[in-house]
Amino acid sequence: MPAITPLLVAQVVIIVVVFHALLLSAAAMVWVERRLAAALQQRSGPTRVGWQGLLQPFADVIKLMFKEELRPKAADALLFGLAPIISAMCAFSAFAVVPFGGSTTFFGLLSEPMKLQVADVNVAVLVIFAIASMGVYGIVLAGWSSNSKYSLLGGLRSSAQMISYELSYGMALASVLLLGNSLSLTEVVNGQAGYWFHVIPKWFIFVQPVGFLIFMTAGVAETNRAPFDFPEAEQELVAGYHTEYSSMSFAMFFLAEYINMVTVSAVATDLFLGGWYGPFLPASLGWIWFLIKVGALLFFYVWMRWTLPRYRYDQLMAFGWKILLPVAVVNLLATAAGVLYFGV
Amino acid sequence: MTLFYLFGAVAVIASLLVIAQRNPIYSVLLLIASFGALSGLYVLLQAPFVAVTQIIVYAGAIMVLFLFVVMLLNAPHEETEHDEKIHPLRRPGPMRFGAVLAAVLLVELLWALTRAGSEGTAFPGADVISVRAIGKALFTDYAFPFEVTSLLIIVAMVGAVVLAKRDTRRGGAPAPPTP
């Protein structure tokens, strides 16, 4: 048993806070998504439960809890139960290595500053990538184990889509890592401190605009969001991989999707938008900037879903392999050449 | 040490179960579990980069492809009842070849395991830890093996394309136009 030190307590507090913040962010995203969608379509959306409908997500959760847990007779019982757990677990654990603020002593409570991060891993970027590649198994297994043709098609599409877009995603990541000169997210964020000409913040998005676009496009595809939501395309596949799921196991897929969105936005913030660096606020309140930037990206996510129609499946594949990947490769090569020529 | 035995046991048991399954999907999943345990062993050896790469490349990318193919073919449970009574070495060609390969692998493994004790198995610490060191080694000392390996993969890909490509000259149906 390690001794109970203030540092240990602070670590546990951070873990608990991050876990609940993720849960709450998913609930908040459900509300934002519904209200924003309504606003974009000139409706009002949910307004009855709580002020402005803010308690609607909680009402939904209670409704889901009391629903019957159904399982098709022909389903593979073990994998059918395991699939939503894999999805939710991967979604939660990916955020563990994402830093969301600079070092702090919590107003002098700790003797030495600690990082605002659950686990400081020196290959953080790769860990996120690895966990994201595990998350796809939740969807694929859900599709297969349901023993229904719609689910199977959804699972197949999901795996094909993941394979196609993971490459571009990795290339975009790699070009930022070249600039940050490290695999640790904290180091990459610290490389973006300061300003050019006292005005423009040194965010990597200004050096890597193409990389940012590739990262976000591939990120949308990885999280199965519109206009790339093929695994669940409701007009073609009923509900895709989670057609046969109900009650809380459906809720877990739902939760995983929203948390993955939050994680992709948080990683993009750390990699391209300067993380917790921003003007006006003191360094100890940097996490507020982080939240603002993540919120902006999440808004963009929802905005995009209700603006762009879904692509056709072959368009998705052609776009991923024939446009996005070559652009990502050229971008990576150009970045490498630039880093060699100008230095970091 | 406890962790080492834990990961080791998971890796060995999962690998054994891979070949004991009738259902190919379960085999794939157990292989992923085995890769996960191997990655844990790499972490214990102070090589986080290798561990994460193991997950990304093997458990993440390659096994998704495996799963994709198994699901696409919708491979049924293996049917082995009819030839279960025959001794492996008396089964038809491919099976006999497989049995011989398995025997050779067993002998090689035994040979390697009995030799390993005398030479020491510790990793040269710092070299495997840093990504920079791995990159440098790959592009200087090991540049030739590295490039030859990539050539091998290209050959395999070309082979797959040639096998899959429909022969349009000899009356085969032309490939459907791709939009």
What whole-number distance in Å separates Cα of residue A185 and Cα of residue A187? Answer: 5
**pLDDT confidence band for A169 (50 / 70 / 90):** confident
Residue B73 forms part of a structural domain? yes
The mean per-residue pLDDT over the stretch A143-172 comes to 82
Which phi and psi angles does B78 have, rounded to 5°? -60, 140
Binary contact (A121, B56; C-beta < 8 A): no
What whole-number distance in Å separates Cα of residue B142 and Cα of residue A153? Answer: 43
Binary contact (A160, B59; C-beta < 8 A): no
CA B50 to chain centre: 16
Question: Of A302-306, B135-139, B149-153, where does the model show the most confidence?
Answer: B149-153
pTM above 0.90, yes or no: no
* Residue B142, domain extent: 130-167
Q: What is the pLDDT of residues B60-72, one digit of tens each?
A: 888 888 887 887 7
Q: What is the pLDDT of residues A4-35, one digit of tens each?
A: 777 777 788 888 888 888 888 888 888 888 88
Count of C-beta atoms within a 10 Å radius of residue A317: 18
Residue B93 forms part of a structural domain? no
> What is the ipTM metric for this complex?
0.76
Structural domains in chain B (count): 2
What was the pLDDT predicted at B124?
Answer: 53
Which chain B residues are within 8 Å of A336, Cβ to Cβ? none
Which residues, at least 6 apart from B165, have a Cβ–Cβ distance to it below 8 Å?
A: none
- On whether any CB of chain A is under 8 Å from the CB of B49, the answer is yes
Give the end of a domain, one of B52, B77, B102: B77
What was the pLDDT predicted at B84?
Answer: 57
Locate A70 and state its tokens.
């159904």
Binary contact (B65, A163; C-beta < 8 A): yes
Q: How far is CA A193 from CA A158, A188, A203, A283, A328, in A?
A: 38, 10, 8, 11, 25
**pLDDT confidence band for B106 (50 / 70 / 90):** very high
Residue B136 forms part of a structural domain? yes
User: Cis omega before residue A201 (within 30°)?
Assistant: no
> Among A233-237, A266-270, B38-42, B142-146, which is the least confidently predicted range?
A233-237
Dihedral (Cα; A166, A170, A171, A173), 10-degree rounding: 140
What was the pLDDT predicted at A109?
Answer: 64
Nearest-Cα distance to chain B for A125, in Å, is 10
Of the partner residues A76, A123, A156, the one whose CB lies closest to the CB of residue B71? A156
**Owner of token pair 């191997």:** B38
Residue B107 forms part of a structural domain? no
Residue B52 forms part of a structural domain? yes
DSSP string, A81-117: HHHHHHHHHHHHHHGGG---EEEE-TTTTSSS-EEES
Which residues, at least 6 apart from A331, have a Cβ–Cβ distance to it below 8 Å?
A: A171, A172, A175, A208, A210, A211, A214
Say which CATH number the domain at B73 has.
1.20.120.1200
DSSP string, B93-133: HHHHHHHHHHHHHHHHHHHHHHHHHHH-----HHHHH-HHH
**pLDDT confidence band for B79 (50 / 70 / 90):** low
Mutation choice for A interface testing from B23, B26, B46, B55 by most A CBs within 10 A: B55
A154: exposed, middle or buried (Cβ count in 10 Å: 0-12, 13-18, 19+): buried
What whole-number distance in Å separates Cα of residue B38 and Cα of residue B44? Answer: 10
Which chain B residues are within 8 Å of A126, Cβ to Cβ? 49, 52-53, 56
What was the pLDDT predicted at B179?
Answer: 47
Helix (H, G, I), strand (E, B) or coil at A201: strand
The one-letter amino acid code at A101 reads G
**Owner of token pair 């877990």:** A252
Residue B106 forms part of a structural domain? no
What whole-number distance in Å separates Cα of residue A78 and Cα of residue A26? Answer: 27
What was the pLDDT predicted at B127?
Answer: 47
What was the pLDDT predicted at B65?
Answer: 81
Which chain B residues are within 8 Å of A166, Cβ to Cβ? 60-61
Residue B108 forms part of a structural domain? no
Residue B84 forms part of a structural domain? no
